[in-house]
Structure 1
Amino acid sequence: MKSTMSIKIRKGLLAGICILLFSLGMKAQSHSYSTDNSMIALEGYSAVSYMDKGKAEQGKKTYKASYDGLTYYFVNQNQLKSFQNNPRKYQPQYGGWCAFAVSLGGKYRPDPESFRVVNGKLYLFTVNPEGDFVKVWEKEGSGKHIAQANKNWQSMKKFKTFGP
């Protein structure tokens, strides 16, 4: 009798833990942006610097704007104005997730200093110690990966994965 009760308690605890983990997972998958709970886009790097200067520059809290639920930081007032005039121009593709990973059907947080601008669009990449995703993306054909990522993104965009 004692062992039967013990098994029932263990099963109940296991079921409770599974429900808790499932509900936490569902809560984390609430939107499609690569950000933490701070909702700061691009880890504070300036979207305008990527697009207009071709480099990753850390923005300043003094120059910030909100768009689509995210806060963006900029290097100066001119960048802030550029963003406010056309925020969609500066949004990273695939919610800021690694472009290469999205082309393969996954979501990985990018390194904000690993990026490419292709045809006026910003693509970010994960830095992997086993290989350079940007080099593979370019070697295999960025156009091919962009087309596949665009297709994958239609079904992936409603989900979010926190962490690396």
Structure 2
Amino acid sequence: MASVSSSTLIIFIASILVAASVAGTMTNGVQRLSDALGDRSVDVSKDIRTDVEIISDAGSPDSIYDESVDNVTVLVKNTGSKTLTATPGSIDLIVNGEFLSPSTVDVVNGDSWRTGTVARVNASVNLSSGDHRLVVIVNGDREVLEFRT
């Protein structure tokens, strides 16, 4: 009878040790998942608060493309709730499927690109006559302008 109690006690202690190690592993995994979700929610919040609109007039292509200097100029209005960085590195341009880095970005009506203000984005590109597609990407927000030269 004593041997049954000893073996039962050993199995009970082993099962407690296994349960404790599993609980420790699960707690660590849940904590890492929670940290990752917290980091991702900050990124998503930044993307949600960012909204821009291209306000250049596609009906006036001469105001968008200057063929004498091979330059594209597009006006982009900050319509989101976040002040954006107005630097060439913070804005991506894609013209006819080709990635371009803006040469200059200037805030038109203020010193910072706050809600309601407009930035003038310039990039050097040689365009032929015809239809063109320009994509502006700021913090994941993507706007498209189609125009003809």
**TM-score normalised to the size of structure 1?**
0.32
**TM-score normalised to the size of structure 2?**
0.34
Q: Which has a greater percent of strand?
A: 2
